Structure 1
């Protein structure tokens, strides 16, 4: 049947096809024999028939798992109704590609991450708060106990304050004339617009409160944001703001918020301006590095686990993940990496930047527990799409967790970290060397 002919074999889900082209020669037949062998070997009940010069091979779907060690759930699409809830939408209709990754993220968060014994750290980058997501999405997650600590860009906290101070931002267009906007005193963040006076008034508020006595010392950004959040919260009470901003909510709930680059925002710019006037306020990044490492180190108490939830990428992502190398690489303490890794990003991994770096790459740094890598999720999507969906799904599926109020426990956590670090540091060299030789930097035992 195959004499004087060329063919090719194509596999699809539940279907194999051999196409005959009679006008070709038969020399290529031998190259296809391995494919025929695979078909007959793995699909034991392969049945064939010929139609219009094509030989078809039909095999049972029960044979398909032999080609894959972990077959997924069958895709069984159903028509969408007019009363689909967010949970039904995600669970039923987000079937593949990044919609499936978003579904997997929602399910992992609600079933395993937002549960008792898990310390959840969230990093935030991108212009999320100007769009209102600090108030609408992040604040509810904090109030319900789903976020225990955060790392956030200073710009997000700065623009979040606009809402707490009662200023107005408006939906605009990305195609406005920016020269005219400048002449009119209007600021544009893509399709969000607001008056230049919003910046000036927010700056004035920051400079005024930072001159108060509690700010006149060296501190980390968690303490700085806690004090600033208290001031914003008090203004919200005076103005009757119904829905608190992210900064004020974190203050109320005892959630520490860190900024990996405190000088890289209008908040930091105002701190710098006050330094020219003789302010004693100094933001010390070493405090942040040690406090965040202490939080992650303390997450292991009572068989607890640590989760890294990354919205966007950038410096906040690294500051969240570097807590693990700080513990095992720099301080020499035993650690295995974060137990959960979930990221929403639009950054590519092939450019070498941290924003798009995969959880597999993070394993090589000891940032992620290698045993938990199969459950790590990266959803390549716009965070402004993912965050409100994740929040709605979570609030529907998860009962609130008790607030950990890690801000109030910072000093105790830091004391424990310092005590254990100094104990390891003061060990005899021979003893320390012997112990370090037994594990990889991430804490994984070295197999002889």
Structure 2
């Protein structure tokens, strides 16, 4: 299969510095999969609101990613974009907004993420109406599920299908739900849906135990890793910093050092796209070699760090892997 124009452009023009690392990381990712390896992608920031789903959904459909770790915000914001896209408001001059203008956006029910405002009523509340019933039904039946599993139930029920406002092929959560892709969502409580769930618990309408916890996510990840890390092993493709990456990468030293399972292999590929510069105490800006000292990466693990904007770089790497 020949490569498309985007891949050809990258290979011809991206020859040095960060650009060359983009090509090297993409080719190494491709080789990792070709040799039977599996890949985790971690999503920090607001990649869903940046509409990374346009390329990530196809990555999921073509089995270019086997597990995802993401913030609760990315979990829900892909679905919000799916059902409320026409109500979003773009603010190209966001750097020039005064505090008063920011407050006016709040009064309009528009929550800003960089240059994009998410419409609270059409996005948050539309999902809340349906997910509340799923949470309460689960509790009534004595069931407990992970945050992403509740979202899968919501999507697969098709109860919101009539509200879709984008091509559903561009929703990575819909693609993930259809494949029942494993997802890890550390710190889900700080998301909008996590806040809403907590509010129901405070009001006594739900029990916290109806939602499986972060500790249970770590246990789930350790079991998944044990089953999938033989042979070429599992790679780690990190978009941004933060808990989406910090949480899952620790599963390897946890198993090796704390459980004393000495047959656990290191992560077998590592790439991070981040604009966090290397600095004292900056975990997100730490160079990959530092992870060797923490028992996460091996001496010979292919390691790449691309110091750039993930909204620009990640779709290019995905385009290479999809041969676009």
Q: TM-score, normalised by structure 1?
A: 0.64
For the 8 Å contact 2:277–2:285, the answer to whether it is kept is yes
- Residue 120 of structure 1: aligned partner: 39
| Aligned-partner SS, 2:189 | coil
Q: Any unmatched runs of 5+ in structure 1?
A: 1-83, 398-448
What does 1:289-438 align with in structure 2 at a 5 Å threshold?
289-301=218-230, 303-334=231-262, 335-372=264-301, 375-396=302-323
For the 8 Å contact 1:164–1:235, the answer to whether it is kept is no
Mapped partners of 1:185, 1:166: distance in 2: 13
When Rg is computed on C-alpha atoms for both structures, the one with the higher figure is 1
Mapped partners of 2:139, 2:172: distance in 1: 21
Mapped partners of 2:269, 2:139: distance in 1: 37
For the 8 Å contact 1:339–1:368, the answer to whether it is kept is yes
**Which contiguous aligned blocks of 4+ residues in structure 1 show a shift greater than 4 angstroms?**
214-220
Mapped partners of 2:39, 2:304: distance in 1: 15
Mapped partners of 1:298, 1:189: distance in 2: 38
Are residue 191 (structure 1) and residue 115 (structure 2) matched?
yes
What does 1:5-404 align with in structure 2 at a 5 Å threshold?
85-110=5-30, 112-115=31-34, 117-133=36-52, 135-168=53-86, 169-173=88-92, 174=94, 175-176=96-97, 177-198=101-122, 199-213=124-138, 217=142, 219=144, 221=146, 224-233=147-156, 234-239=158-163, 242-244=167-169, 245-276=171-202, 277-280=204-207, 281-301=210-230, 303-334=231-262, 335-372=264-301, 375-396=302-323
267-276 vs 383-392, which moves further:
267-276
Q: CA deviation at 1:369?
A: 1.7
For the 8 Å contact 2:185–2:244, the answer to whether it is kept is yes
Q: CA deviation at 1:131?
A: 1.8
Higher RCO by CA contacts (8 Å cutoff, separation 6 or greater) = 2
Q: TM-score, normalised by structure 2?
A: 0.87
| Aligned-partner SS, 2:273 | strand
Q: CA deviation at 1:137?
A: 1.9
For the 8 Å contact 1:347–1:356, the answer to whether it is kept is yes
Q: CA deviation at 1:116?
A: 5.0
Deviations 1:114-162 (A, max 9, x none): 32521211111011111211x3021111111011111100011121121
Q: CA deviation at 1:319?
A: 1.4
Q: Any unmatched runs of 5+ in structure 2?
A: none
Q: RMSD of the alignment, in Å?
A: 2.2
In the superposition, relative to structure 1, how do residues 237 and 116 fare at CA in structure 2: closer, same or farther (>3 Å)?
Answer: farther
Aligned length: 307
Mapped partners of 1:353, 1:121: distance in 2: 22
Deviations 1:326-365 (A, max 9, x none): 1101111122411100111111222322212221010111
Mapped partners of 1:387, 1:93: distance in 2: 17
For the 8 Å contact 1:120–1:306, the answer to whether it is kept is yes
Mapped partners of 2:216, 2:141: distance in 1: 16
Mapped partners of 1:362, 1:318: distance in 2: 11
In the superposition, relative to structure 1, how do residues 102 and 205 fare at CA in structure 2: closer, same or farther (>3 Å)?
Answer: same
Q: CA deviation at 1:278?
A: 3.6
For the 8 Å contact 1:187–1:194, the answer to whether it is kept is yes
Mapped partners of 1:236, 1:145: distance in 2: 26
Deviations 1:157-178 (A, max 9, x none): 1211212334432332213431
Q: CA deviation at 1:232?
A: 2.3
